[in-house]
Structure 1
């Protein structure tokens, strides 16, 4: 971000000579020095000096210049009615944007129009549909530290009102939650080192005083009555500071309240299946990798059959925070199962939910006074769907569906108010009029009648005056400058009656007005203005009345969102042959498991079984590259994740234990900017797993120890295997090319070997993609290189070197075996007590030793 966004030094020195408007602009830039100020001038937002240069470069707009008595300086502007794309570009470039609107009517002010910052646009506090990235949540977070080294974390989506708080014991837990929620912006309290949790563009600078416990407590209590729902001072401080920051961005120093926030949800991360950012990324739950330059597919996309934005956010949250409570998981499975078994109900529910608007964001706009008439009509159309959804669920059997049906309040009084007050297809702008329905307000109806009768009188006037004057070309017209007029050509000027008063002379005609026409025009203008003012006041009254029911509407939104997510899970299960998992087992038993994403993109996907239990909880998985090891491990984790989110799973059958965490150490990555090599990143992730995993965790390890020398890597891999087996007891899938680990799996009581086979042919290797018990016999690395297109001379040389190394290894092995045999014979000879042997016994010992030596040969 550019450091200087205010007036140039030479201009600042003579600021007393600035024009009033420019003085106002630079005053705002000093007040909001961390933001680019968009300054309304008529129909444009303007920027000046360095700010203009920055905006012109980033937004690719024309850089012009302003010239006044103080000099000439750069200027750039964007149209107000299309400002959002430019604001988005500025946000992407790392700027905050302070929007300074005219807060006075220029027609009623003599001198400079007063301007004030009405909103500060930051990445984490967006509410504009044009700036939000689809239906997904857009969180801003606040983090406060406590004296014991723990933290309080608060997360808020300003656009929907979703507000969460939790306590976290250490920085690792903080990173886990930030990775889970992926906030767009983080506000940190005093003593919290922001660089430990994100880069500079991610961390917002805000007043430390907002984190004061007394100030924070007062602010939280002003919203929710007390701070009793929060468990610790750090949580209170984080929540209070976050509310303060959100208010600040809504109205600058005015601190506009967010009245639609009616509760904060305090949660314990242990109430959900925990996955850190590494696990979410490697399992591609939300972010997909590019494959050969083409965008891949994330898990959320293959299970997202939701009908509305509410459902999309709910489904995303269920995948972000899968359940660990057995009864809650079963309740979702019951609902999904009922909808799978009843396709008619499922399809009817889906069709009705398609007509549901994003009422969480609508309620947010209503409560902030930013909703227009179309928003209110969309709200009414959504509430009209509720009785239909209730009717569809009238015969629901399972408790989950019945409970959601009971939560569906169609707010009949609000529906009736909106139906009576707002026209079915209102204009976009409130200032255009035509928003309030006829019959809603008697005074408005009278004003409109006066306006209509006046316009009808004027419509009839043209025919009457033509007949009275005999001038067939006479016209009655209107323009915004001169109002209503009667136009007569110069050729007919002699026919103009005496009561016509000249208003405007044109090249070929003259325009007139009569006292009667002027009187009617005054009546029409007065009626129009009074009707317009009254209509706006009536609309605001309706909007305020709707805002009073924000809590009821948010409850309806929550129920509709859950129904949509359940219906989406059911649709996916029915369309793609998912099975209901049996939960509560002591292991992970999957029959015919499939990777939910890969099976959609690769024809001929091979399903595989998994059978891990307390006696076989550590599986060492071997096999060649590209044989399916990583896909297999990921599919096991994704099946567990989907099951605990409440979905059926891509398998023929599944009996699953409930796991507390999923850990992954999969794939190669580095952190060049942070000075960490691939191997260092791998070891850091491994350390996190070994410190935090429990016997209830699911751990995926892929090629641990491959980033260093073979000797070191094998030593690390073997030590990790033993530690996971002996100390952690976690259910673990460990894919490796260190075939020495297969011997460890044979030795350890609760471990087993699995492998993916392949067959060698002259033209390469064929992968079978089928998991089997036992260890792989080869890695087929050279054949994979050949398949990948490595030049043939390189492949042949690799074979020669491999053969030579294999021969040497065999010779070394033979020599070692001979040495071991000699050592065994020598040991037996040393054990013979010659003095005590009879001649016959001595011959027998000699015979046995000779026979053993011949067998070894």
Structure 2
């Protein structure tokens, strides 16, 4: 639809609430505009969608913002204080589309609806304004509409609180809530872990108290995060108020049944509930009781590492090409969200990881069961989100059908699992939950709902014929009124003996009986005068009404309204029954998701030949024939095999460091990333792309692969590299896995070499972690002879017919060259540039052979001792240069200059 056709003033706005005339004084404000200004003043930080008839209208600055953001026409309506009032609007039936765009641009929207019937407003006076009020605030973290949500992504908002633990340290409590599904998770972390914990939830919106928002140490973080930031005042956000709010919401006297929570977690949870109350305005979403999600129970992965490894999005921001997109074989929206959640927060407890592996292994071994489960799951819609919309009063008939179909799928899945012996713990718990679910309500929904359902309940027609007798009669009356009138006409004609009697209708007197005048005279007498009431006498005819005809007319006139009221009452009754089972239905939805994720990972393992890794508490890290899942999938589409490689970083008391050298395009970055991704997959409970894998649990995963400017913060590529490296060296523990690529290459050669050298020593002596360190500084390979937990590896390269061939195979040893010129030629540099570079390289290598750099490794101490500068390089005496320096051309005659030239030539 064109922007010109998008908006036209609604009839309601024109007829019932006229603007002031142009001749009105500037101070005059129409009742409608006065109402708008009052409501807008109560919601200054939101765009106000002001309902007028079939449109949501926006005025003043809101109209200008919405017009520019949505690309719709900006018009005007009357004047205010002598100025034209800007105005634009969007149709109510397309509001979701425009809400999605506004929310995506970071706006908040207050939806203002009519709260009374226009007829009631008219009773107060012809110029009375229909009462309106804001019924909800739409923010990025609180949307529930199906069209506004990504079905495979949780829509969390995150509330943050903190408490002081020392003069210099804070502890942060986090409450993550997804009102579209009811998930409610609390966790606590220290300052250094805050970024990683926020990244784990990947919230759409973050609620930050003013005191935290304005903290100079965190202000930059809030400005730079992709999530929408909503500052909150401190009023009502203290621990005591927060605890009372939690108890009142869940109707409990104590929180002990939910777990042991810190003061910071309780405060954050109270802030989250406060925000729900503020935005939902009287509506109460179905929330699960809060669960404890300790930061230490999940593999800590900071936002930079998530981006480098492309776990859920590529570096360009796309889902396609990420690890999540590669492994997502789920068949339900809830399963897709749970898979993303497990990928975002892999476990660190071997026992829980092994429980998940046991379930996957069962379905790997039992292909028939796996296929049956997946066929049932494909019939299951988004049960959790449908239930949430119904609880908030935003659901429709199709949401009832979603719940019905989800309950039937849950019943069938429970029956299938019930006949499967020896279920592992996780699948057994899901089966028990599914088998305990009451599904009789699904049978009633099936009996009540029609085959074709409208989107909105106000459209009616969603109750099945035969379900309610009164509704059927009204529908029959509504649709077959002519038949009823004909039957009544035939009876009257038979009773009066007048074959020309007709029942007719006009807009003046409604339905009436018309007979010839001579018959009408008889109807004025006994016994007919009690039945037929005279209305009009026409030329040659008389018109009568009857009580029966009047009742039938009233029924016909109100049949549609009465039918809709019955349907709406039935709808509310069905919703009420479902909400009475909300906790059981929500648990069933979670169980469906667990089975879906398990079956999907099993299907993935079978199709791609993945294997079950061994996970324990050791510092082992042995991978045989490991593969990069994303790259392998891309190569498979091209019909090219992936070259698998081994990796061993195992250690008894401290981790091993593998120093990797080799050419660009040789596969170093792929090798680094694949080992990190195998850890993530293993600890989320999945099988992994390798022949064998033994991994001691990793507590923190760090990756610095690739580099980019951060111009918004004034950071160069090298500065970004150093900031990320600093975070790694300051936070990695002996249980961490560190992936580093090309540290120090963004600055001068000796500066970069020194930084890379010192970083390796710190990882070896200070962090004692398992690490993969790729570099082009070949000088660093000598460290393997000095530091016991470092070994060298390189990517094999061969040359054939003058062409370089990258074999992508990791082997022990060190590279002696980088093949940069060959890569430059492959990249398409002009031939003249490549040839000139060869000549320069040849000259530089010749100069280096004649005056080689002194080897520094023998002279520099280890990290444990202070690092001292390298001694100056000794330069051999050069007689020709000395003779040349001794000459003074200004003091020489031409003859002396010629003799000097011959002497210099002889010395050469």
TM-score (norm 1): 0.86
Question: What whole-Å deviation, never above 9, does each CA across 1:248-272 have from its counterpart, x for those lacking one?
Answer: 1112xxx5433x1130112211111
Equivalence for 2:749: 710
1:30 is aligned, of 34, 41, 58, to: 41
Given that residues 145 and 389 in structure 2 are in contact (C-alpha distance below 8 angstroms), is that contact kept between their aligned partners in structure 1? Answer: no
Given that residues 485 and 512 in structure 1 are in contact (C-alpha distance below 8 angstroms), is that contact kept between their aligned partners in structure 2? Answer: no
CA distance in 2, matches of 1:186, 1:482: 62
CA distance in 1, matches of 2:812, 2:302: 31
* 1:414 maps onto 2:441 in alignment: yes
CA distance in 2, matches of 1:151, 1:816: 49
> Aligned pair in 2 of structure 1 residues 774, 23: CA closer, same or farther (>3 Å)?
same
- SS for the counterpart of 2:222 is coil
Equivalence for 1:126: 143
* 1:300 maps onto 2:308 in alignment: no
Q: 197-206 vs 273-282, which deviates more? A: 197-206
Kindly state the Cα deviation for residue 437 of structure 1 after the two structures are TM-superposed: 4.6
Kindly state the Cα deviation for residue 788 of structure 1 after the two structures are TM-superposed: 0.5
Equivalence for 2:823: 784
> Aligned pair in 2 of structure 1 residues 461, 484: CA closer, same or farther (>3 Å)?
farther
Equivalence for 2:98: 86
> Aligned pair in 2 of structure 1 residues 750, 379: CA closer, same or farther (>3 Å)?
same
Kindly state the Cα deviation for residue 199 of structure 1 after the two structures are TM-superposed: 2.4
CA distance in 2, matches of 1:316, 1:814: 51
* 1:154 maps onto 2:180 in alignment: no
CA distance in 1, matches of 2:630, 2:703: 18
Given that residues 624 and 692 in structure 2 are in contact (C-alpha distance below 8 angstroms), is that contact kept between their aligned partners in structure 1? Answer: yes
Equivalence for 2:485: 458
> Aligned pair in 2 of structure 1 residues 223, 718: CA closer, same or farther (>3 Å)?
same
* 1:114 maps onto 2:114 in alignment: no
Question: What whole-Å deviation, never above 9, does each CA across 1:181-236 have from its counterpart, x for those lacking one?
Answer: 11111111142036343228721133321422232221112123234435322212
2:50 is aligned, of 34, 39, 43, to: 39
CA distance in 2, matches of 1:496, 1:80: 55
- SS for the counterpart of 1:199 is helix
Equivalence for 1:388: 412
1:607 is aligned, of 634, 644, 649, to: 644
> Aligned pair in 2 of structure 1 residues 815, 675: CA closer, same or farther (>3 Å)?
closer
Equivalence for 2:670: 631
- SS for the counterpart of 1:145 is strand
Given that residues 210 and 231 in structure 2 are in contact (C-alpha distance below 8 angstroms), is that contact kept between their aligned partners in structure 1? Answer: no
Given that residues 209 and 231 in structure 2 are in contact (C-alpha distance below 8 angstroms), is that contact kept between their aligned partners in structure 1? Answer: no
* 1:278 maps onto 2:304 in alignment: yes
CA distance in 1, matches of 2:368, 2:248: 47
1:800 is aligned, of 825, 833, 839, to: 839
* 1:102 maps onto 2:127 in alignment: no
1:593 is aligned, of 609, 626, 631, to: 626
CA distance in 1, matches of 2:271, 2:156: 15
> Aligned pair in 2 of structure 1 residues 388, 814: CA closer, same or farther (>3 Å)?
closer
Q: For residues 400-479 of structure 1, what are the structure 2 equivalents within 5 Å? A: 400=425, 401-408=427-434, 409-437=436-464, 456-458=483-485, 460=487
CA distance in 1, matches of 2:480, 2:93: 34
Equivalence for 1:851: none
Question: What whole-Å deviation, never above 9, does each CA across 1:470-503 have from its counterpart, x for those lacking one?
Answer: 999x99789xx88976999xxx999999999999
- SS for the counterpart of 1:231 is coil
- SS for the counterpart of 1:536 is helix
Given that residues 223 and 262 in structure 1 are in contact (C-alpha distance below 8 angstroms), is that contact kept between their aligned partners in structure 2? Answer: no
CA distance in 1, matches of 2:542, 2:455: 35
> Aligned pair in 2 of structure 1 residues 466, 673: CA closer, same or farther (>3 Å)?
farther
* 1:654 maps onto 2:666 in alignment: no
Given that residues 765 and 787 in structure 1 are in contact (C-alpha distance below 8 angstroms), is that contact kept between their aligned partners in structure 2? Answer: no
> Aligned pair in 2 of structure 1 residues 597, 801: CA closer, same or farther (>3 Å)?
same
Given that residues 210 and 216 in structure 1 are in contact (C-alpha distance below 8 angstroms), is that contact kept between their aligned partners in structure 2? Answer: yes
* 1:265 maps onto 2:291 in alignment: yes
CA distance in 2, matches of 1:87, 1:815: 67
> Aligned pair in 2 of structure 1 residues 729, 383: CA closer, same or farther (>3 Å)?
same
CA distance in 2, matches of 1:595, 1:783: 25
CA distance in 2, matches of 1:120, 1:432: 25
> Aligned pair in 2 of structure 1 residues 485, 196: CA closer, same or farther (>3 Å)?
same
Given that residues 736 and 769 in structure 2 are in contact (C-alpha distance below 8 angstroms), is that contact kept between their aligned partners in structure 1? Answer: yes
- SS for the counterpart of 1:559 is helix
Given that residues 39 and 47 in structure 1 are in contact (C-alpha distance below 8 angstroms), is that contact kept between their aligned partners in structure 2? Answer: yes
> Aligned pair in 2 of structure 1 residues 737, 309: CA closer, same or farther (>3 Å)?
same
Given that residues 592 and 608 in structure 1 are in contact (C-alpha distance below 8 angstroms), is that contact kept between their aligned partners in structure 2? Answer: yes
* 1:311 maps onto 2:344 in alignment: no
* 1:163 maps onto 2:184 in alignment: yes
Q: For residues 803-842 of structure 1, what are the structure 2 equivalents within 5 Å? A: 803-813=842-852
Given that residues 511 and 553 in structure 2 are in contact (C-alpha distance below 8 angstroms), is that contact kept between their aligned partners in structure 1? Answer: no
> Aligned pair in 2 of structure 1 residues 586, 105: CA closer, same or farther (>3 Å)?
same
Kindly state the Cα deviation for residue 513 of structure 1 after the two structures are TM-superposed: 9.0
Equivalence for 2:770: 731
Given that residues 75 and 88 in structure 2 are in contact (C-alpha distance below 8 angstroms), is that contact kept between their aligned partners in structure 1? Answer: yes
CA distance in 2, matches of 1:794, 1:465: 106
Kindly state the Cα deviation for residue 353 of structure 1 after the two structures are TM-superposed: 0.5
Given that residues 764 and 787 in structure 1 are in contact (C-alpha distance below 8 angstroms), is that contact kept between their aligned partners in structure 2? Answer: no
* 1:17 maps onto 2:28 in alignment: yes
Kindly state the Cα deviation for residue 278 of structure 1 after the two structures are TM-superposed: 1.1
Equivalence for 1:759: 798
Q: For residues 205-244 of structure 1, what are the structure 2 equivalents within 5 Å? A: 205-224=231-250, 225=252, 226-228=254-256, 229-244=259-274
* 1:186 maps onto 2:206 in alignment: yes
Count of aligned positions: 790
Kindly state the Cα deviation for residue 791 of structure 1 after the two structures are TM-superposed: 1.0
- SS for the counterpart of 1:120 is strand
Given that residues 290 and 296 in structure 1 are in contact (C-alpha distance below 8 angstroms), is that contact kept between their aligned partners in structure 2? Answer: no
> Aligned pair in 2 of structure 1 residues 104, 816: CA closer, same or farther (>3 Å)?
closer
Kindly state the Cα deviation for residue 392 of structure 1 after the two structures are TM-superposed: 2.2
- SS for the counterpart of 2:301 is coil
> Aligned pair in 2 of structure 1 residues 69, 26: CA closer, same or farther (>3 Å)?
closer
Given that residues 387 and 399 in structure 2 are in contact (C-alpha distance below 8 angstroms), is that contact kept between their aligned partners in structure 1? Answer: no
Kindly state the Cα deviation for residue 563 of structure 1 after the two structures are TM-superposed: 0.5
CA RMSD of the aligned region, Å?
A: 3.4
Q: 705-714 vs 514-523, which deviates more? A: 514-523
> Aligned pair in 2 of structure 1 residues 501, 53: CA closer, same or farther (>3 Å)?
farther
CA distance in 1, matches of 2:518, 2:343: 82
> Aligned pair in 2 of structure 1 residues 664, 484: CA closer, same or farther (>3 Å)?
farther
- SS for the counterpart of 1:83 is helix
* 1:579 maps onto 2:605 in alignment: no
Equivalence for 1:328: 352
* 1:374 maps onto 2:406 in alignment: no
* 1:721 maps onto 2:751 in alignment: no
Equivalence for 1:847: none
CA distance in 1, matches of 2:853, 2:376: 75
Equivalence for 1:848: none
> Aligned pair in 2 of structure 1 residues 257, 410: CA closer, same or farther (>3 Å)?
closer
Kindly state the Cα deviation for residue 138 of structure 1 after the two structures are TM-superposed: 0.9
Q: 313-322 vs 582-591, which deviates more? A: 582-591
Equivalence for 1:58: 69
TM-score (norm 2): 0.81
CA distance in 2, matches of 1:495, 1:242: 80
* 1:346 maps onto 2:334 in alignment: no
Equivalence for 2:567: 535
Q: 675-684 vs 406-415, which deviates more? A: 406-415
Equivalence for 2:15: none
Q: 92-101 vs 143-152, which deviates more? A: 143-152
Question: What whole-Å deviation, never above 9, does each CA across 1:698-741 have from its counterpart, x for those lacking one?
Answer: 11000011111110111111111111112211110000000011
CA distance in 2, matches of 1:795, 1:344: 59
> Aligned pair in 2 of structure 1 residues 814, 686: CA closer, same or farther (>3 Å)?
closer
2:585 is aligned, of 535, 538, 553, to: 553
CA distance in 1, matches of 2:535, 2:732: 92
